[in-house]
Structure 1
Amino acid sequence: MKDNFSALAGGYSKYRPYYPPEMIEYIVSFVKEKHEALDVATGNGQVAIELSKHFKKVYATDISQKQLDNATQADNIVYKVESAEHTAFADGQFDLITVAQAIHWFDFEAFYKEVYRILKPDGVFAVLGYGLFSTNPETDKLLRYFYYETIGPFWDPERKYIDNNYTTIPFPFDEIEVKQFMNEFIWTFDQLIGYLETWSAVQHYTNKVGKNPVNDIKDALKISWEKSDKKVTFPLLLRIGKIV
């Protein structure tokens, strides 16, 4: 599993969009028992904190201590530094295992072997994510050129799984047909820029070229943003399954 986000942990915690509670509640509705849940690659703990409202105990793991240092705390959440593919949990421990916006970084074969080991026979496995957001036509034109052309060569190969809405990831589970979710926000210009700067390709570009590419489009973005309704819409990705 790659760690592209330790250096961005503060911004990740502040600017990354959250998942709507109704989406988490929908996932939880498929789970029979609500004893223990695991959120893998939890990042800032945004899914873990929502799960903590439904389960007696939630474990949340990440390979980045810096991410966990910025995670939201709750009495029934235990944060641990562990890789997704190798954990110290017991066989058949969890009623639910979730992965949000991270599974594309994993070694699929090793991770799924671990899921089959630590998930209860009647447990639920859920993959969440979000795709490229849309705003207003003028801003979208700027951002799509930026996404595909300016920083396009700097995305990790794994990004293609998100561009394909997670439909092409291996998924060796008895899959459940799910509802589609969207998430909408009203963002300030600072929130827009802050989110763009959490993109791993922006970090790769900055490290390789020696300058932040967001700065090159900031003025044009500000003009288009200030005359728009400032609405941001994310398509949400969701796959749910059970052990075959």
Structure 2
Amino acid sequence: MPSDPAATGALDADFPDHFSGHAADYAKARPTYPAELFAHLASIVPACGLAWDVGAGSGQSACALAEHMQRVVATDASAEQLAAARPHPRVTYLEARAEGSPLDDASVDLVTVAQALHWFDIDAFHAEVRRVARPGAILAEWSYDLMTVEPAVDAVVRHLYRAVVGSYWPPERIHVEDGYAKLAFPFERVETSEFAMELEWTLEQLLAYLGTWSSVRRFIDARGEDPVAALRPEFDAAWGLDERRLVCWPLALRVGRV
């Protein structure tokens, strides 16, 4: 039986929602995860039947999972985020909290959480994972912190991150900086390879991504100024004449068997 709070589809507003107000920008500007990650996860699940992508946002992971799984249920507490998600014939998007899904008991082969775990009630979410997981199912949780480009660009990004918008980060951000190391993980660990997102981006793409940071949006709401736009001259000087540069985000990944 699905848990009642999320199965209704009528969610209360008491959750840390930092992205609904710019869901369309988020869907366009956020980086995509490496295809090798999803292929690896599919290789260690008990079956490639049903995957549950939790905190799915606009579907960056869900559509990649659908290349390997027969069906993906992608849930998020933000209807605005889901409305901006890319459709896929094997992905079903549902508005639901991570702590109470609309999924049946013992029905899921793979549970994934991409850059969203720090917003959850961890113990309640892990209890929900146990409920929906088939025997031997896999849970994969990952996050990514600051990207690297090249030293001059990285210095401007760090200045934005710490000195300019540092006080506007939600407190949960510390868990991203820690790579989720201090969050409970009560499952049998499965050793995995290291993965990273690597994309060749223009400066405009990088700035659009920085504009989706929750701290940047909170800064704009509080002060009526765009801190990314204010640093545009510094970014132009650091980026130089190359149209595109390699942008890399190492993933902090933890995988367990339920």
TM above 0.5, yes or no, is: yes
Question: How far, CA to CA, are the matches of 2:90 and 2:194 in structure 1?
Answer: 29
Describe the SS at the equivalent of 1:42: coil
Corresponding residue for residue 9 of structure 2: none
Corresponding residue for residue 132 of structure 1: 146
Question: How far, CA to CA, are the matches of 2:160 and 2:89 in structure 1?
Answer: 42
Corresponding residue for residue 104 of structure 1: 118
Q: What is the one-letter code of the residue matched to 1:241?
A: G
State the shift of 1:183 in Å.
2.1
Q: Does 1:235 align with 2:250?
A: yes
Q: Deviations over 1:160-210 (max 9, x none)?
A: 111112222211111112211122222111101100000000011111122
Corresponding residue for residue 50 of structure 1: 64
The answer to whether the Cα contact below 8 Å between 2:29 and 2:205 also exists between their aligned partners in 1 is: yes
Corresponding residue for residue 192 of structure 1: 206
Aligned structure 1 segments of 4 or more residues deviating by more than 6 angstroms: none
Describe the SS at the equivalent of 1:239: strand
Corresponding residue for residue 3 of structure 2: none
The answer to whether the Cα contact below 8 Å between 2:38 and 2:68 also exists between their aligned partners in 1 is: no
Q: Deviations over 1:123-164 (max 9, x none)?
A: 110112222101111111111111111111111111111111
State the shift of 1:73 in Å.
1.2
TM-score (norm 1): 0.96
Corresponding residue for residue 72 of structure 1: 86
Point out where structure 1 has 5 or more consecutive residues left out of the alignment: none
Q: Does 1:161 align with 2:175?
A: yes
The size of the alignment, in residue pairs, is 243
Describe the SS at the equivalent of 2:73: strand
State the shift of 1:219 in Å.
1.3
Question: How far, CA to CA, are the matches of 2:76 and 2:113 in structure 1?
Answer: 11
Corresponding residue for residue 93 of structure 1: 107
Corresponding residue for residue 40 of structure 2: 26
Question: How far, CA to CA, are the matches of 2:138 and 2:205 in structure 1?
Answer: 34
Percent identity between matched residues is 37
Within 5 Å, give how 1:164-243 maps onto structure 2.
164-227=178-241, 230-243=245-258
Q: Deviations over 1:52-106 (max 9, x none)?
A: 1112111000111111111121112111000111112111110011010000110
Corresponding residue for residue 4 of structure 1: 18
Question: How far, CA to CA, are the matches of 1:150 and 1:42 in structure 2?
Answer: 29
Question: How far, CA to CA, are the matches of 2:26 and 2:219 in structure 1?
Answer: 17
The answer to whether the Cα contact below 8 Å between 2:48 and 2:69 also exists between their aligned partners in 1 is: yes
**Aligned partner (choices 22, 27, 30) of residue 13 of structure 1:** 27
State the shift of 1:11 in Å.
1.2
Question: How far, CA to CA, are the matches of 1:121 and 1:136 in structure 2?
Answer: 45
Question: How far, CA to CA, are the matches of 2:68 and 2:196 in structure 1?
Answer: 22
Q: What is the one-letter code of the residue matched to 2:99?
A: E
Q: Does 1:147 align with 2:161?
A: yes
Describe the SS at the equivalent of 2:231: helix
Q: Which moved more, 1:170-179 or 1:229-238?
A: 229-238
Point out where structure 2 has 5 or more consecutive residues left out of the alignment: 1-14
Describe the SS at the equivalent of 1:170: coil
Corresponding residue for residue 11 of structure 2: none
